[in-house]
Amino acid sequence: MNITPKPANQASHGDAFSLRLRLHWKGAHAGSVMFIEGASMSNYEIVKATQIDGDFEGFDDEVLFKLMDGSYWIQDQYKYWYHYAYCPKVNILRANGRLYLQVVGQQEAVPIRPISDVVESQIDGEFNGWDGETVYALTNGQVWQQSTYQYDYTYSYRPDVFIYNAGGGYKMQVEGTTADVRRIK
């Protein structure tokens, strides 16, 4: 999925949607009209202009995005794209009945869906990554265990943790790594 800028002077000024979109982007994207390739302009809209809460490290597989308004969104289709930014401005777009996340000023977008019931806490002590059956106690009193094998060494002391159900079981996101987990306490 690519988002491509279209210069404002190429937009159809008779098209009310193009005009509305061009006015919305004024200042935010130097007079360009953005569109999703293959999507009908009449079905495309900016649902929300907001900001990521914290580090943004691009798209991967089922990445969880926390927005400044406290809402959570999860990447709904695999796409890898690395781009680091701290608290970047983003747009939630709608085209053909799907929602997409796009970082303002970038051309990449990825399908997303809202997600609720996210546990946000910290590891109570050291985080040493994942080794297959890793168990971590959280500062909120919960204890979670890695449920599928994955090895990934990353060290951090009392890092932030996000635990969420992506539809196929719980995942724990810590320091840019994610593993399948189950709650044991």
Whether residue 57 has pLDDT greater than 80: yes
Percent of the chain with pLDDT over 70: 76
Give the model's pLDDT for residue 43.
61
Give the model's pLDDT for residue 49.
96
Element (H, E) at 173: strand 170-174
Report whether 17 contacts 6 (CB < 8 A): no
Whether residue 50 has pLDDT greater than 90: yes
Strand order in the sheet with 72-75: 45-51, 89-95, 98-103, 109-115, 72-75, 64-66
- Average pLDDT value for the chain: 81
Give the model's pLDDT for residue 15.
39
Whether residue 169 has pLDDT greater than 70: yes
**In sequence order, what are the beta bridge partners of 156?**
127
Whether residue 134 has pLDDT greater than 50: yes
Q: What is the pTM of this model?
A: 0.70
